[in-house]
Chain A
């Protein structure tokens, strides 16, 4: 079997589900013949036609609003926002309507839509193209927020997101769209949405991350292992709802936690996880929970973007701070 990249796994999942379910319809800007600016819908227009792979007029609020109406009719729209930085005009629709249609109608109307968006920095893109504001969505009751960090998880989680009966924000870390290749069987098997993935097991510290930062976090774990520090490494994957049980179980074992995310620190999802660790396993902690995150600054333009992103060194420093305690 050929190995595929994460963006190809996204395409594979979309194609699988479109083949299975005629209610799945794709919408977005440049997703048709062009296959999307990152080629996530490559070939789908030719295979499924213009009725199901729909190039929309250029208006993000409209994309979200249309999807809500379509989803209420029982379709399963999977819409692409070209970059996370362009999703903000759609917030009104996503927050005021997608997230609460089920609740407002006591379950009479629902909104089984997926909003996909490439997110995060590190690809030398122009201004506004490197956002990671997942916490905005995680804060909204009624939404689910999912972030894959490997081809296999992109495939399984996207299938789960499309099949989910509620709106899912599916954020694709574009920096690792083509970083690694994996065998991803096209077997239609979804992964669970309310579940963290333990990627590495160790007893000294728990490293918690998601998205593109997962890559540096794993590298840091490798280097720490060489120094005799063995880390549990957790890919949160579902930012909302959060599988805190898996994280707590790990931290109860290791006594140390370092949370790594690319997004700005204040009000980030890391703060929520740290708070939950305080509530659930404070007495197991041997050291204060550390956060290694982006800064509370505007995402710098491409020349300095690497200085903003959590590096392997910064992650190791974070771990070392926790090791200073007994």
Chain B
């Protein structure tokens, strides 16, 4: 027997859990304010998440999936994308959506059960939140197909959880993206849990990144708790995609420091020691340590930021609470461009029922 092919998977990290640099800063991070911007987005996301959970607990919103502990993944993605790129989210991407221009009150609307929450004005080509697992990977490949068909210089980013990498749609999307060299970046938020099933029960693969190998595309594992590394990895993958150099799979390794959603109770299955350890490695603390060590951040700035985020989120909550309901006719009005006659009758009946 002879060896006919060899593969390896690289791991990218810039900041260690202690806030020490393990590799030199990438170019973007040396620009004034760049890291502070990443940090501020992460803090806003954490404040938003806490408020969203609170709204759910007090009956003012529906089920909500928090990003607690995974802020580095999402903020890195949002920061690396350009306005002309297209984002295809799963359901834990509040951070990216905010960076893309969706408003806080819109996200609350979506999770509060109002379809207008997906009518993004600032990023009109981005897909809505995707609840059915892994289906979104194929939409991203389809968008990338259209981009390639039209010879445009932009790219698509799509996200999913570690559980989603077990589904056929994921493999089918990687495969076709490789075969057609599509401008798309696949990102797996490996937060170690698919509801209660640990990453280790999901696949015998040592990494999820290596699933790229079978599709013939680059796969890389990134420290998802390191927003700097995340931002850099996504940026590089996007540049390749925009330049016609094909797709990339990025596995962002992080930890879900929260329940799966507000409908879940992770204390039933998460080992306590594991979560205590994960708290030592989480992304916000890590970047803050780095910024403080380099005299870019202090307690006063922190207090001011916390207050700004609270005010911003509180104002959005007020806007969300004050939003009037859609009329009942709205459940019909977006089914088809032109409402079929039979549905016109049902629409009329629903409106009369409402009186």
Measured CB to CB, the residues of A under 8 A from B are 25, 51, 56-57, 59, 61-62, 64-75, 77, 89, 92-93, 96-97, 101-110, 141-142, 144, 165-166, 194, 241-242, 244-245
Of B8-16, B252-260, B331-339, the segment with at least 4 beta carbons within 8 Å of chain A is: B331-339
Q: How far is the CA of A108 from the CA of B147 in the complex (A)?
A: 18
Q: Which residue of A lies closest to B338 (CB)?
A: A165
Q: Which residue of B lies closest to A113 (CB)?
A: B142
B138, B147, B337: which contacts A62 (Cβ < 8 A)? Answer: B138
A108→B118 contact, CB < 8 A: yes
Q: How far is the CA of A96 from the CA of B146 in the complex (A)?
A: 21
B169, B336, B337: which contacts A61 (Cβ < 8 A)? Answer: B169
Q: How far is the CA of A326 from the CA of B341 in the complex (A)?
A: 34
Q: How far is the CA of A178 from the CA of B21 in the complex (A)?
A: 71
CB-contacts of B79-126 with A (<8 A): 88, 115-116, 118-120, 124-125
B337→A103 contact, CB < 8 A: no
The digit string for B205-234, where 1 denotes a CB below 8 A from any CB of A, is 000000000000000000000000000000
**Complex interface: chain B residues within 8 A of A65 (CB):** 135, 137-139, 141-142, 169, 172-173
Instruction: Name the prevailing secondary structure of the B interface residues.
Output: helix
B115, B127, B138, B147: which contacts A66 (Cβ < 8 A)? Answer: B138
Q: Which residue of A lies closest to B331 (CB)?
A: A103
Shortest B102–chain A CB gap in Å is 12
- Asked if B128 is an interface residue, CB under 8 A from chain A, the answer is yes
A72, A104, A194, A241: which contacts B143 (Cβ < 8 A)? Answer: A72
**A51 and B172 in contact, given A102-B334, A102-B335, A106-B115 (Cβ under 8 angstroms):** no
**Complex interface: chain A residues within 8 A of B70 (CB):** none
Instruction: Point out which of A62, A75, A77, A107 has the most chain B C-beta atoms below 10 A from its C-beta.
Output: A62
- Asked if B144 is an interface residue, CB under 8 A from chain A, the answer is yes
**Complex interface: chain B residues within 8 A of A105 (CB):** 115, 118-119, 128, 334
**A93 and B115 in contact, given A57-B179, A61-B169, A74-B146 (Cβ under 8 angstroms):** no
Given contacts A68-B138, A69-B144, 16 further A-B contacts (CB under 8 A): A56-B176, A61-B169, A65-B141, A66-B145, A70-B146, A73-B125, A89-B168, A92-B169, A97-B132, A97-B135, A104-B128, A105-B118, A105-B334, A106-B116, A108-B120, A109-B125
Q: How far is the CA of A242 from the CA of B341 in the complex (A)?
A: 9
Q: How far is the CA of A96 from the CA of B127 in the complex (A)?
A: 14
Q: How far is the CA of A141 from the CA of B140 in the complex (A)?
A: 24
**Complex interface: chain B residues within 8 A of A70 (CB):** 142-143, 145-146, 149
**Complex interface: chain A residues within 8 A of B169 (CB):** 61-62, 65, 92
**A241 and B145 in contact, given A68-B138, A102-B335, A108-B119 (Cβ under 8 angstroms):** no
